[in-house]
Amino acid sequence: MTRSQLRWRLRSGRWTAPLPGVYATFSGELSGHQQAIAALLYGGPSACLTGAAALVVHGFDTAPRERCVRIVVPCNRRVPSTGFVRVHRTIRPDSFGRRYGPLRVASPERCVVEASRLCADPGRVRAMVAEAVQSAHCTVEDLTRELEAAPKAGTAVLRRAVAEVLAGVRSVAEGDARALLARSTVLPPLLWNPVLKALDGTALPSPDGWIPDVGLALEVDSRAYHLSPADWERTLRRHARLAEAGAVVLHFSPQQIHRDPAWFVASVERSYLARLTANPRPPIRTVPR
């Protein structure tokens, strides 16, 4: 195709140029998928998607909404940000990147780190970390490795979220509960998602939170964070097994924790003090992971 033919198609409106050197053989707005393809064409064969747009490609439900598409290119590529594309240069190639059809995408752990560094919402950062681990996009070890290699600026919230996962927290609601209960002057430190067994060695369900001295279990009951609807009844039966073994099980919804945090903390404290007064000795032991 000659330059004059190209100019004619652009002038006539049949084609558009969403980015310098990139042409769409149609008119109208580009979809998110088309923007991602255009951004990679603009960045060149060594470019890959990162950040929120890349998380969408990976299938994250918790990806932040951004109007721009972020790509990462080698540091020797002099490609400026323009239009809807934001270019990030790196001296550290991502050897764990993936390909989805025409899209080259940075690894899930790298995308989570990059998106979190630019996200001002701590709840959203927690949600991305929780989904990354729960949905097996990557492991907490992958996140930790990437976090240590990434620039430190803007990672404080992300580091706290990863620390929660390392401590056993596996959901946003659990993270909220952990932060609230950690400030209590009444409660001892809780164990999160511990491995429990009866004294005879029988395996018991793992509660979200656990106070071993008094056998007090906390469950954050939410289909959205933990379960598919088909598993709901089965999980309730597993929780009942803890009660049969001698534990007291407290159930809270994420909405209760979010809407009335003071009531939530007070409820756990009252239950703990009541168990402490009764001086129970639950026949349950905590097994090291």
SS (H, E, C) 154-168: CCHHHHHHHHHHHCC
Average pLDDT of the chain to the nearest whole number: 89
Residue 189: pLDDT band (50, 70, 90) is: very high
Which H or E run contains 217? Answer: strand 216-220
What is the spatial distance between Cα 55 and Cα 287, in angstroms, rounded to a whole number?
36
In the chain, the percentage of residues whose pLDDT exceeds 70 is 94
What is the spatial distance between Cα 89 and Cα 110, in angstroms, rounded to a whole number?
14
Q: Which of 36, 135, 28 is nearest to 86 (CA)?
A: 36
Q: What is the pLDDT of residue 226?
A: 44
For the residues 2-13, what does the mean pLDDT come to? Answer: 92
Residue 225: pLDDT band (50, 70, 90) is: very low
Residues 6+ apart with CB under 8 A from 95: none
The pLDDT tens digits for 250-288 are 988 888 898 899 999 999 999 999 999 987 778 898 887
